[in-house]
Amino acid sequence: MNIFKKIYLTSLLMTTPFIDASIANTIVDSIIVGAHPQAVAISGSYAYVCNTNDDSVSVVNLTTQTISATITSILYPFSHPAAIAISGSYAYVCNGNGNFVSIVNIATPASAAVTGIVAATLQAFNSPQAIAISGTHAYVCNYNNNTVSIVNIATPASAAVTGIVDATVHAFNTPCAIAISGTTAYVCNYNNNIVSIVNIATPASAAVTGVVTDSGLTFNHPCAIVISGTTAYVSNDSAFYLSVINVDPTSSSLSYNSVIGTVENTTYDVLSAGAIAADGKTGYFCDSVNNSLQVLLIGVSSSVQSPASIALTTGSIAYTNYTNYINKITWTAPDNGNLVAAYRIYKNSGLTDLLATISADNELTCYDNFLNHSTSYTYYIVSVDLDGNVSTPISASITTR
């Protein structure tokens, strides 16, 4: 059952919470795969694409952009493969119609093969539509019976369901997508417009602890979720925007696990929540209409860049008993890279003598006061993105007068 209608690739693949929709993204190739590709996962230089209508998984060599293999199985045939997640040398594929999860050995991609299915004797899967992995456990959304299965995958050959997430506080309602950040999982509930918060610190006792605060009622059939750094993006099936969630546990209690804004972007209309993946500056998404894997240049760097330029001026203010010598430091924002949250200005090359931290939302100017006359000063400026990544410094020197 394909319940997903749209997902906005441009925004979901970026690494910052508010996206400039004017960034140009270019489809550079199209790779024909199987019938109705619905989900894709990346491992190394290979993509694994679930083809729901011909019950197969295509193995795509991203270097040559060719099909290396098509995975099928006589002993353990796929049945409407709808989602895929990878851990180490194994992929785990949700089969929406067959109510099981396939185990696929991908150690050698060209000869990848189904080796079995996840044992589910305790609690059976029921229309598994999404899967996410954290450490030795996978979490599977069962759309039809409103549960999330906990799967121990420590030993892939004997992977088994060990329980279900306790949802007595806030029951799931058609869970259709899941993403994990640290010890927290976020589950999209399609029919009741809620994103559940699940504590998975101890998998055996994983439990729903609440729901994402959505004061603006932005969720509208949430159908997909992707986490990048400290930000989660939720695609809404019945709205032309993404809901943006702050998932930074170090932030204030008022903003943590809350919707902090929306991003409008209708550039791409993809038919599956699991139909996207990213690898550096390249994105991959399933085009189920044309039975292809589209290769997209995202057009944004995966790192934070240094300020584009720096300028220094010096001056002084004379008082009755002394003269205040002042240097003014100005700079310009980087031309590309991750969105900058702040700039740090230092007075030494070791970046230990901090003069100031300036928010990227403020005027990009800083003053250094009470300096010595006819003395040379050098300033070093770094950019800092929302995840705390720091650029290499840009520097300039000036002598007071």
Q: Which of the pair, 280 or 320, is modelled with greater confidence?
A: 320
* pTM of full prediction above 0.85: no
Are the C-beta atoms of residues 102 and 81 closer than 8 Å to each other?
yes
Other CB atoms within 10 A of residue 217 CB: 9
**What pLDDT score was predicted for residue 53?**
93
**Per-residue pLDDT averaged across 286-295, rounded?**
74
Nearest to 275 by CA among 81, 79, 144: 81
pLDDT digits (tens, 9 = 90+) for 309-318: 999 999 999 9
* Residue 288 scores a pLDDT above 80: no
CA dihedral angle for residue 45, residue 50, residue 55, residue 56, rounded to 10 degrees? 0
- 3-class DSSP assignment, residue 371: strand
**Per-residue pLDDT averaged across 219-234, rounded?**
83
Do the bridges between strand 90-95 and strand 37-43 make them parallel or antiparallel, or are there none, so unpaired? unpaired
**What pLDDT score was predicted for residue 367?**
96
pLDDT digits (tens, 9 = 90+) for 61-97: 888 889 999 999 999 999 999 999 999 999 999 999 9
**Per-residue pLDDT averaged across 260-287, rounded?**
56
Nearest to 164 by CA among 191, 189, 142: 142
**What pLDDT score was predicted for residue 381?**
96
**What pLDDT score was predicted for residue 382?**
94
For residue 229, the cross-strand partners are none
Q: Which of the pair, 11 or 39, is modelled with greater confidence?
A: 39
**What pLDDT score was predicted for residue 7?**
31
**Per-residue pLDDT averaged across 115-144, rounded?**
93
Q: For 9-297, which CATH superfamily applies? A: YVTN repeat-like/Quinoprotein amine dehydrogenase (2.130.10.10)
**Per-residue pLDDT averaged across 130-139, rounded?**
95
* Distance separating alpha carbons of residues 378 and 347, to the nearest angstrom: 6
* Residue 215 scores a pLDDT above 80: yes
pLDDT level of residue 274 (50, 70, 90 thresholds): low
**What pLDDT score was predicted for residue 90?**
97
| CA-based torsion, 335, 337, 338, 344: positive or negative | negative
Q: What share of the chain has pLDDT > 90, as a percent?
A: 55
Average confidence score pLDDT of the chain: 84
pLDDT digits (tens, 9 = 90+) for 319-357: 988 899 999 999 998 866 666 888 999 999 989 999 999
* Residue 267 scores a pLDDT above 60: no
Find all residues with CB under 8 Å of 322, minimum gap 6, and list them.
none
Other CB atoms within 10 A of residue 53 CB: 15
Q: Which residues of 17-33 are buried (b: 16+ CB within 10 A; e: fewer)?
A: bebeeeeebeeeeebeb
DSSP state of 4: -
pLDDT digits (tens, 9 = 90+) for 3-22: 222 233 333 333 333 333 34
Stretch (H or E) spanning 137: strand 137-142
* Distance separating alpha carbons of residues 149 and 141, to the nearest angstrom: 7
Nearest to 38 by CA among 129, 104, 117, 100: 129
CATH number (1.10.1660.10, 2.60.40.1220, 2.60.40.10, 3.30.70.270) of 309-399 reads: 2.60.40.10
DSSP string, 113-153: EEEEE-B-SSS---SEEEEEEETTEEEEEETTTTEEEEEE-
Going from N- to C-terminal start, the domains of the chain cover 9-297, 309-399
Find all residues with CB under 8 Å of 92, minimum gap 6, and list them.
84, 85, 86, 101, 102, 103, 104, 118, 131, 133, 138, 151, 153, 159
pLDDT level of residue 299 (50, 70, 90 thresholds): very low
Q: How far is C-alpha 202 from the geometric centre of its chain's CA atoms?
A: 23
**What pLDDT score was predicted for residue 338?**
65
